[in-house]
Structure 1
Amino acid sequence: GAPHALPPLPPPSRWEEPPPPPRALPIMFKLEEAIPSNTPAQAFKQLDAISLCIRLAMEGRLNDSVAARPRPLVIHERALFTNAARGFGVLDLRPVLEERGPIAQFAASRWPDSPPNSDLNPVFFLWHADLFPDLQTVSYAVHGMPDHCSMPPTVVLCPPAVSALKAIANFIECTDKDEEAGFTSRPYRFCPSWPFLGDSCSVHFRNDSARLCWDKSGPRKIPHFIPFNESLPLDSLPIIVYVTIHTSTREVAIFSSSGFETRMWKMDLSKAYRRAGRQNMDLWKQGRVTHRGCTLDFRGQFGDACQANLENRVWGFGLWVARKLCLALEHLFPSHDPVVLAWVAFRSSKRLFVKLGDVWAFFDDVHGGGINDPILSSDGSPVLVEGVPLLRCLLYYNATMVVFEAAGYEFPLKKREPPTFLLDLLGALVRVREQHIVVHPDKRVRYIRELEVAERSLFLDRDFLNSLAHKLIYCACIMVRLHPWLFPIFKCLRAPSRSSRAPISPKARDSFSKCRTALASADNHFLPFAAVEAFPSLGDSLLIIYADAAGEGRYEGNGFWFVVAGTCFLFTDTWSASEAKVPIHAREAFISTAATMAAHTLFPNRNFVLEYTDNTPTEFVHDSQSSRCELLQLIVDARAEFFDASGMCALPQRVKSKDNRWADLLSRGQADLVLYEVDACGLSPMWLNLPPDALRLRKALLNASLSR
């Protein structure tokens, strides 16, 4: 039968107990007993200034509001406590502010006696922790997430960011929703904890939805103050290997090699970032000043530099449990289909790991896929759910949902996509049947609209340009053809300027135009799933070409080779005495381009080319599609014209010289040795000539070199 194993495991770590409780604080009923007399006055004055700033924004007086924004107030540790209150940890001022008792202390949250404010189910994590090596993550989920910040006790009171004042209605709405959901404390007229880190909040929009983000990298340029994010030991945190769309679709392509129907599904965790509770001892670093006063945040915050790492470790635990459950279901309900069984037997014979489905997660986007064979009971009859035969992908989909719901997460109906052939995944559209990844149509429409503005502009706002450039980077991961056009855009973005507007060069405007045209016909530009038949590869649309040029020693030549369907196509020749005067970097760039042109002549339907070269300048020039060297720019222009006419997409790749052996031997006149090794590999050799496009480029290169 097929070998089964547990899913990949994170690095091991030890269970971490919460900190011990602080020593008992003497009974104090007044703020003046714990805080030096002049300090509360400073804080109240700052809070009044922030309140005025917010009130002006609420009245629609934005300019006055921005002008009234006070500078951040920072009160250092030495001015925080009276001698009677010093050394007793973080003070809880809420009982005094609510007039219900003396000043209290923040003690560490510890389940089950004093659990954190959290939606996570501690019993789930403890029950499934067996065999899971990252026990530190389990302890965080149970007792509360520490922030790992080494910031000394400090009071910081910051006004909302200008973006929050501009979108004051959204700021108030988000703040009120957090309080209603129980993510924050009620607002207080003074700091609810002492010390208190009241970060500046900004408002960001994503898909027309407002979201709060905390500036935990500020305030800056305050003497003797190190911001929260700069106090984090980021280098000591475990490295998280993030799943990409290529990871999951590659595995789905391997499932498809079984010859049986394959589907994918997904579900988005709702407010996943805000489900895990903070360790109570660290709540003082989770404050903010709102339109109604000071509040404490009980959950993770956008802007915390280590929050993504902590949350991903917790989600990884849920993912591990879901994968375990899917493997158990596969063992309980093995496939009975002869096509699937033959595939399982084949992969088992090759000692390849075999499973019929899998689950992945990129942050809070949980998705999966697999072979969609019917689930049969032990007697061979189909398992029915409400009279409908149950299929494997739906079984794994429901099992994964049960696991994460048991952990304490929620999946809104609008964020669930049951097993399907067409999936909106991580911003792209995945066509499972065709094994294609394309840019999502909704994104295309938005990006084209922005590109139309950009290609007509002589200047662009830097924030707009930065956003658009990174959107194009995302598109270039799917539409490889866009990649060379990005360099002029980023050159404008990085150009030094004191202005908030960046000048747009003619080359950048031309790049915007080409990107817009390509996105308008993006249905014809896709990325393959990266598998064919039983073994991972890049399918029938890809060509992998190795090229090299020799420019030193007694033999100066060039060569390239590539393999298609058991035939090794080769080319070699020497440079003439005149051509040998062309700089070696230009010859390297030429032969790499000529190889792609020759391959297209033979295989016009292969649209994707990986150009391997051991010459770093060649890789850079082909990648950036720009050069100050006249000869290299000549090659760049010829490449752009060729790719526009042919519809090909080329991605240059750097390879070590020792791994570019055959191309190196061909460039040095040692074709006999290459033919011997080609024959030893069981390949049939076929010699090529340069196509007309390459010959014209070679002649133009020589003429340009002689005229210098």
Structure 2
Amino acid sequence: MYIDDAGLVSIDDAVFDRSGAPVMRNGVQLTRAWAHFEILKASLAEMGLETTKEQPPSSVLTLLGVEINLDTRRMRVSDDKRVKYAERASTVAALTVVGRDEFLGLLGRLNFAATFYPRGRQWLHAPWRAVRAQYRTAADQVVISKAVREQLRLWVAELGKPDHEGVPIGAAEAFPAAASPEVSAVYADAALECAGAGFCAWTVDGDELLYVQGEWSSSERERYLICDLELAASTFGLVALASETRRSFVYSFTDNVVAMAAMRKAAPRTETMQALCGARTAWLLHHGVAEAVERITSKANLWADLGSRGRLASMLEQARGLGLRPRRVEVPAEWRNMLAP
């Protein structure tokens, strides 16, 4: 029998005997965690298994290439794995072509690392496209394009940082309710096959209705899928409206399940959605904004639907009827131009 890696959790409270006296080991009171550790080692020895890499009870455990730290309540890639992954990515980034199996081995490791570097998911799109591309060399090699090289180098730079932050251990602080003063709720929609088809997103700030709205060009209608445009509408609303409200938390509501999945997992399949997800992820991190993405039915998403179908006047009339003061916000040009051919 061979046991590769295993970890156990034990409560580190003090051990007493039946009389209530403390149980001592070398002048130090035994804890339950140490007792479990001793029992485990003895049990393995009885089965003829040698323990060579055991780690005694500690608040920090390295297991399967992951450092689990109970003091900071975070998980991160272990230092040795981090350095090895960086070296491997750097080696491949310096090549013009690489064997497909070797490349897949690297991507498997970076996929694992992305669990602890969430923004790193955006740096795997070009490499995976290269793997799926039909244009391979006769020797079944993958071409390292400029885009692949740039994203691998982003990984090298991030993995090279010894102060790697990691991610929380299995728990997160509750996201504030939508009515909280820290929160903005952005509703977005996009239309494609109708007169005046375009995008619209809105939020309420005090007594103001803030909104972005526009029409798709003929080339955008022909070139993009509706899921691309739905993600673009939500992204336009996020960057334009959250910049106005300056809230730390944003609920983004969309009635498109593909766009919702792209925003939640940050791992879409189309190249357009990959570019949008990469840009919006960087924006969220840079501005210190946390986003929760929620599904809304098309029927309930009425105002964004009206605005995206060229019926902005009807949307604004309803808002004024509720005592809101509409104010148009422009989508920053660099974001609106992301859909340019």
Task: Tell me the TM-score normalised to structure 1 length.
Answer: 0.36
Matched, 1:432 2:77: no
C-alpha change, 1:513 and 1:415, in structure 2 (3 Å) is same
Q: Deviations over 1:652-699 (max 9, x none)?
A: 98xxxxx724x86773239xxxxxxxxxxxxxxxx9x99x9x8315x8
Contact 2:203 2:211 in 1 (8 A): no
Contact 1:557 1:668 in 2 (8 A): no
Distance, in Å, in 2 between the alignment partners of 1:388 and 1:700 is 63
Q: 1:539: which partner in 2?
A: 173
Contact 1:485 1:625 in 2 (8 A): no
Contact 1:558 1:574 in 2 (8 A): yes
Distance, in Å, in 2 between the alignment partners of 1:483 and 1:649 is 17
Q: 2:53: which partner in 1?
A: 415
Q: 2:231: which partner in 1?
A: 589
Contact 2:65 2:77 in 1 (8 A): yes
C-alpha change, 1:528 and 1:704, in structure 2 (3 Å) is closer
Contact 1:528 1:539 in 2 (8 A): no
C-alpha change, 1:372 and 1:589, in structure 2 (3 Å) is same
C-alpha change, 1:664 and 1:560, in structure 2 (3 Å) is farther
Q: Which has more radius of gyration? A: 1
Within 5 Å, which residues of 2 pair with 1:307-346? none
- DSSP 3-state at the match of 1:373: coil
C-alpha change, 1:628 and 1:468, in structure 2 (3 Å) is closer
- DSSP 3-state at the match of 1:457: coil
Specify which of 602, 621, 624 is matched with residue 247 of structure 2. 602
Specify which of 24, 27, 31 is matched with residue 384 of structure 1. 24
- DSSP 3-state at the match of 2:266: helix
Q: 2:332: which partner in 1?
A: 696
C-alpha change, 1:373 and 1:489, in structure 2 (3 Å) is same
Specify which of 123, 142, 165 is matched with residue 502 of structure 1. 142
Q: Deviations over 1:116-171 (max 9, x none)?
A: xxxxxxxxxxxxxxxxxxxxxxxxxxxxxxxxxxxxxxxxxxxxxxxxxxxxxxxx
Identify the range of structure 1 (587-596 vs 499-508) with the bigger mean alpha-carbon deviation. 587-596
Q: 2:189: which partner in 1?
A: 550
Q: 2:123: which partner in 1?
A: 485
The CA deviation at 1:480 is: 0.9
- DSSP 3-state at the match of 2:21: coil
C-alpha change, 1:511 and 1:409, in structure 2 (3 Å) is farther
Within 5 Å, which residues of 2 pair with 1:8-407? 272-273=1-2, 364-406=4-46
Distance, in Å, in 2 between the alignment partners of 1:470 and 1:649 is 28
* Root-mean-square deviation over aligned CA pairs: 4.6
Residue type of the partner of 1:470? G
Q: 1:616: which partner in 2?
A: 258
The CA deviation at 1:364 is: 3.8
Contact 1:484 1:625 in 2 (8 A): no
The CA deviation at 1:551 is: 4.1
- DSSP 3-state at the match of 2:163: helix
C-alpha change, 1:446 and 1:517, in structure 2 (3 Å) is same
Contact 1:626 1:633 in 2 (8 A): yes
Distance, in Å, in 2 between the alignment partners of 1:430 and 1:400 is 20
Task: Tell me the TM-score normalised to structure 2 length.
Answer: 0.68
Distance, in Å, in 1 between the alignment partners of 2:122 and 2:288 is 14
Specify which of 297, 302, 306 is matched with residue 668 of structure 1. 302
Residue type of the partner of 1:635? L
Q: 2:314: which partner in 1?
A: none
Q: Deviations over 1:270-292 (max 9, x none)?
A: xx34xxxxxxxxxxxxxxxxxxx
C-alpha change, 1:512 and 1:649, in structure 2 (3 Å) is farther
Q: 1:578: which partner in 2?
A: 215
The CA deviation at 1:507 is: 1.1
Distance, in Å, in 2 between the alignment partners of 1:543 and 1:481 is 25
Q: Which runs of 5+ in 1 are unaligned?
A: 1-271, 274-362, 532-537, 562-567, 654-658, 671-686
Contact 1:476 1:482 in 2 (8 A): yes
Residue type of the partner of 2:113? C
Residue type of the partner of 1:514? L
Within 5 Å, which residues of 2 pair with 1:461-476? 461-476=99-114
Within 5 Å, which residues of 2 pair with 1:634-673? 635-636=276-277, 638-639=279-280, 642=283, 645-646=286-287, 660-661=295-296, 667-669=301-303
Contact 2:266 2:277 in 1 (8 A): no
Q: Which runs of 5+ in 2 are unaligned?
A: 179-183, 305-323
Distance, in Å, in 2 between the alignment partners of 1:542 and 1:527 is 20
Work out the number of aligned pairs and report it. Answer: 298
Distance, in Å, in 1 between the alignment partners of 2:10 and 2:88 is 37
The CA deviation at 1:628 is: 4.8
Q: Deviations over 1:399-434 (max 9, x none)?
A: 33344444x25142x311111122111211111100
Distance, in Å, in 2 between the alignment partners of 1:421 and 1:520 is 25
Whose RCO is larger (CA < 8 A, sep 6+)? Answer: 2
Distance, in Å, in 2 between the alignment partners of 1:457 and 1:643 is 33
Residue type of the partner of 1:660? R
C-alpha change, 1:376 and 1:461, in structure 2 (3 Å) is same
- DSSP 3-state at the match of 1:549: strand
C-alpha change, 1:619 and 1:393, in structure 2 (3 Å) is same
The CA deviation at 1:445 is: 1.3
Q: Deviations over 1:203-236 (max 9, x none)?
A: xxxxxxxxxxxxxxxxxxxxxxxxxxxxxxxxxx
Q: Indicate the percent of aligned positions where both proteins have the same amino acid.
A: 18
Distance, in Å, in 1 between the alignment partners of 2:106 and 2:177 is 30
